[in-house]
Structure 1
Amino acid sequence: MKKSSEGNALLLIEAEMEEYPFLPSKLADYSSITLPILAITGKQSPSAKLISESNGGIVCGHDSDSILNALTSIEKSSLQVSPQLNSHFSPDGVVKNYNEIILNSHT
């Protein structure tokens, strides 16, 4: 991960699927590095939702135009990454999420 922190952005590529139900562990690793994440994935994937809602980077589709636009955006701007993404994977954040799941399952 040390080499990852020396770049301009972090790359996350997920399979091109209609519904992508997985959350890659790489996203948790990347969340601790203060660089924007370029996620090439479906807009409805869990990764896309977390990155977008947490201001953790740029989400784009698998087509070349989307990827080029995302790379251009990263190159031309200095994206400020919110620490909010990392809070989802911190020990306190994980406990909070589990508590919400448990509480909501009893209502």
Structure 2
Amino acid sequence: MTMADRERDFENRFIHDQELKFRIRARRNKLIGLWAAEKLGKTGPDANAYAQEIVRVDFEKPGDDDVFDHLMADLGEMGITEKEIRAQMEELLKEAEKQVMSE
């Protein structure tokens, strides 16, 4: 195996890992969106639309702050705390990873 082959393998592995992380985060955002939709009393198509909105919100800025801020704005008035939202995001990240890895 030449150095160029190793570099190409490394680049391909990096790309694969980044795509996997993206899919896991997108799945987590959908799951947290469905969780929040339930808290907001949304069901069926309305719940799915809200979950898709949360997925799109994640593209606004790097990291989880955009998703968290959106959820906090929607759920904070209902008495759901920052700690609860962050804990749910953490738990659903693990669930999303399990789901994506089993596909």
Decide: shared fold, TM above 0.5. no
Give the structure with higher Rg (CA): 2
More strand per residue: 1
TM interval, shorter chain, is under 0.3
More helix per residue: 2
TM-score (norm. length: structure 1):
0.27
